[in-house]
Chains A and B, each alone.
Chain A
Amino acid sequence: MGLILFYILGGLTLVAALGVVTTRNIVYGALFLLVAMSGVAGLFVLLFAEFLALVQLLIYGGAIIIVILFALMLTRTTDFSVATEHRRWPMAAVISLALFGLLAGAAIGDSGDYNTYQRSGISIEELGKGLFENWAVPFEIASIVLLVALIGAIVIGRSGEEEGGEGDQG
């Protein structure tokens, strides 16, 4: 049962990811990304990480896709319909396939060390305890990172008066 669900969700995720990196229409790419993220959320459920699945759907499905769609709306250009890939894309494909071969070979070669374990869940209670006891300082740093990124995005995205000057590159 778990294996069937894994193949369904994994296949959905991989097909959607392939769509993200090969589609010519950028908006379709964003929608494929939404499907891929949802598939990953399903895989998290399969790994008994319900909280992470929820967070995944909320942040990726909710926030990030919307932000990307807004960015696409505001930066729509026409020249990608004819040349969406770099002309050296076969080299990129070869590099990716080689890395996949390496990683998959390592995973299969090492599988004997780990596959004696059965997968088991962590309750949200334990997760929260771990997050706020052992990982309290990184948690606070993460909140500062978010604040800095927020302020930075506002400062960078704001239209300043120096706008439009092709010559100044400061």
Chain B
Amino acid sequence: MILELAHFQILAAALFCLGLYGVLARRSAVMVLMAVELMLNAVNINLVAFSAFRDISIVTGQVIAIFVITVAAAEIGLALAVIMRLYRRRGTVNVDEIDWMKG
């Protein structure tokens, strides 16, 4: 049995769903962020796998993966600044207690 694209797809799906569970179930904002990073990584695995298993001259998958990593880095820096600010103001990073925008 050889390594096929479906292996990587199922692994990426499992990683994405673990990240989804973390986003939905965790209460700490930092933990939610880490779960989002897991989901972004699952997407990257999918992109690179499709890139590797198709035509050799197509670099699109890897290039988009680089952009995803870039945006993830920007996102984590900004989000952690927001969390820090929130903690200084409210004294908590529990996403259940942050309901200022509740109508």
Count contacts between A and B, CB distance < 8 Å: 268
How far is the CB of A2 from the nearest CB of chain B, in Å?
4
**Which B residues from 4 to 40 make CB contacts under 8 A with A?**
4-11, 13-22, 24-28, 30-31, 33-35, 37-38
Q: Is the CB of B30 within 8 A of A47?
A: no
Contact of B48 among A52, A75, A99, A131 (CB under 8 A): A52
Q: Is the CB of B38 within 8 A of A75?
A: no
A21 to B32, CA, bound (A): 9
Given contacts A21-B19, A37-B41, A86-B25, contact A146 B70 (CB under 8 A): yes
Number of interface residues, chain A, beta carbon within 8 A: 92
Query: Which of B25, B30, B81 has the largest count of A CB atoms less than 10 A from its CB?
Result: B25
Contact of B53 among A67, A96, A107, A117 (CB under 8 A): A117
How far is the CB of A16 from the nearest CB of chain B, in Å?
9
Question: CB within 8 Å of B: which residues of A?
Answer: 2-3, 6, 10, 13-14, 17-18, 20-21, 26, 29-30, 33, 36-37, 40, 43-44, 46-49, 51-52, 55-56, 59-60, 63-64, 67-68, 70-72, 74-75, 77, 79-80, 83-86, 88-89, 91-93, 95-97, 99-100, 103-104, 107-108, 111, 114-115, 117-122, 126-127, 129-131, 134-135, 138, 142, 145-146, 148-150, 152-154, 156-157, 159, 163-164, 166, 169
Known A20-B35, A40-B15, A142-B67; further 16 A-B contacts with Cβ < 8 A: A2-B3, A14-B18, A20-B31, A26-B30, A55-B66, A68-B30, A75-B83, A75-B93, A84-B27, A88-B25, A91-B24, A95-B24, A96-B20, A114-B53, A142-B70, A153-B78
